[in-house]
Amino acid sequence: MVAMTGELARERNDSHIDELLLYRRVAWRIMPLAIICFLFSYFDRINISFAKAQMQQELGLSDAAYGLAASMFFVGYVLFEVPSSFGLKRYGAPAWICRIMVSWGLATAALVFAYTQYTLYFLRFLIGVMEAGFGPAILFYLACWFPRKHLAKMNGLWFLAVPLAGAVGGPAAGFLLGTMDGVLGLAGWHWLFLMSGLPCVVLGVLVLWKLDRDIESAKWLSREEKDLLVQNLAEDKRTAKPILGSLWRVLLTREVAIMAFIYYVVKTASYGLNFWMPHLIKSSGVQDMLWVGVLSALPYAVACVGMVLLTRRSDRTGERKRYLVYCLLAAAAGYLLACLFSGSSVAMMAALVLATAGTFIAIPIFWTIPQSTFSGLAIATGTAAINSVGQLSGIVAPVMVGKINDLTGSTYMGMLSIAPLILIACLVVMRYVRNPRS
């Protein structure tokens, strides 16, 4: 009788909890800081594209050498991505994210000492080592709070930082390069790296202070709210059929191989845009660096809006595969059109908008699939493995595009080579990927 009374009381308490409002509270607690951190993380990777013109002139870099400098970040990132994910288990996500952010912020700021191309290579490699594990740590943390039915929306909000890094970072980079050049004896591109790195140190400390280790340690939630959040996650685990839960065995699954290839292509498309869009815009006739930065922001701004709308629709319908295919087709079409109309600034900008929207909207929709496939800490290991292969594109794409440009004497032939890869990935999605049950 006492047990029955307790159950009735708990049901009555739970019935008073508005689940939608609860998840909104959780999102407001976690997402703003997560988005800002990821914005700096992504800008940390692509800021070299805005520094390219000044940096090449001062250091005497060819396009191929610039591509190598851009790629060195990803060499360190890929080598240490999976090992870094194991720090989550020992220290917890907030502490590990703090460590990552403080160390990469200091390494980025150290680029003020990059006075030779070899120093530049080394420091870009070191930044990659320090930043390794950041993405999987955040994805793991989100999956520890939000059930599958909310994941695409949360991923979409978090991945807003990717196009925002271009939308906000482009004008900011143009301003720093144009107005800070020579201030205190530093080149404009040195100021760009300095102002990219130091805020990350502060953000890392904020993460440790603001984010709770897990649901149980969240003092701002009532006991009933914690129980509801835990219950929803447990229901996901009960109904899902994860492929493997082992930390090591998950790395060798067929699903990881398929997803890693798809993500590799998506990231190749995104880094092709990140590292070469300012160059394409400048080559089309826009010479003022501030205007190059402003125009670079336009495709990313459109991608931000599309990311919010399409990920919300994906959550409502539970449809992941179809929307991923649509995004890949849009990206391939945009790449082709941008290269065909490279002589017209207006037409090329329209094509870059299409390519950028398709590429960056695909990223959060894609990540709902592995997050729904693996369980427990295997989420961190599985996503780290997929992300590691995906980040290999950061090594290959800049060097490949730069080398093809040098060989052909063209500003767009290297970019054109990416479009067929996107179409192949689209076929792989249609043939081998199953829509995860929401």
How many angstroms separate the CA atoms of 292 and 313, rounded?
A: 33
Choose from 58-62, 143-147, 376-380 the range with maximum mean pLDDT: 143-147
When pLDDT is cut at 50, 70 and 90, the band that residue 376 belongs to is low
Is the model's pLDDT at 286 over the cut of 70? no
- Residues 148-164, mean pLDDT to the nearest whole number: 74
User: What pLDDT is attached to residue 287?
Assistant: 65
Give the per-residue SS3 of 152-173: HHHHHHHHCHHHHHHHHHHHHH
Q: pLDDT per residue over 314-343, tens digit each?
A: 777 777 888 899 999 999 998 888 878 777
Lowest mean pLDDT segment, chosen from 37-41, 153-157, 238-242: 238-242
| Burial call 341-378: b when 16+ CB within 10 Å, e when fewer | bbeebeebbbbbbbbbbbbbbbbbbbbbbbbbbbbbbb
Q: Which pLDDT score is estimated for 2?
A: 39
Rounded CA-CA distance 45/270 in Å is 12
* pLDDT of 245 above 70: no
What's the pLDDT tens digit per position in 94-129?
999 999 999 999 999 998 888 888 888 899 999 989
Per-residue confidence band for 250, with pLDDT thresholds at 50, 70 and 90: low
Confidence of residue 372 (pLDDT cuts 50, 70, 90): low
* Section 232-249 average pLDDT: 62
Q: Please report the pLDDT score of residue 404 as a whole number.
A: 75
Q: Is residue 418 a contact partner of residue 91, using CB atoms and an 8 Å limit? A: no
The whole-number pLDDT of residue 244 equals 47
**For residue 5, is pLDDT > 50?**
no
Q: What is the pLDDT of residue 135?
A: 82
> Which two structure tokens, joined as six digits, stand for 332?
């391939």
Please name each of the domains of the chain with its CATH number. 14-432 (1.20.1250.20)
Backbone angles phi, psi at 327, to 5 degrees: -65, -40
Taking Cα atoms as reference points, which of 78, 1, 17, 35 lies closest to residue 385? 78
For residues 389 and 257, give the distance between their C-alpha atoms in angstroms, rounded to a whole number.
9
By the 8 A CB rule, do 99 and 205 touch? no
Q: How far is CA 182 from the centre of its chain?
A: 32
Helix (H) or strand (E) holding 304: helix 289-317
91-95: which pairs have CB atoms within 8 A and are 24 or more residues apart? 92/213, 92/214, 93/137, 93/138, 93/140, 93/141, 93/144, 93/211, 93/213, 94/141, 94/207, 94/208, 94/211, 94/212, 94/213, 95/208, 95/213
Highest mean pLDDT among 19-23, 137-141, 426-430: 426-430
pTM attached to this predicted model: 0.68
Evaluate if residue 206 carries a pLDDT over 90: yes
2 vs 396, higher pLDDT: 396
The string over 404-417, giving b where at least 16 C-beta atoms fall within 10 Å of a residue's C-beta and e elsewhere, is bbeeeeebbebbbb
Poorest-confidence range of 175-184, 241-250, 256-265, 353-362? 241-250
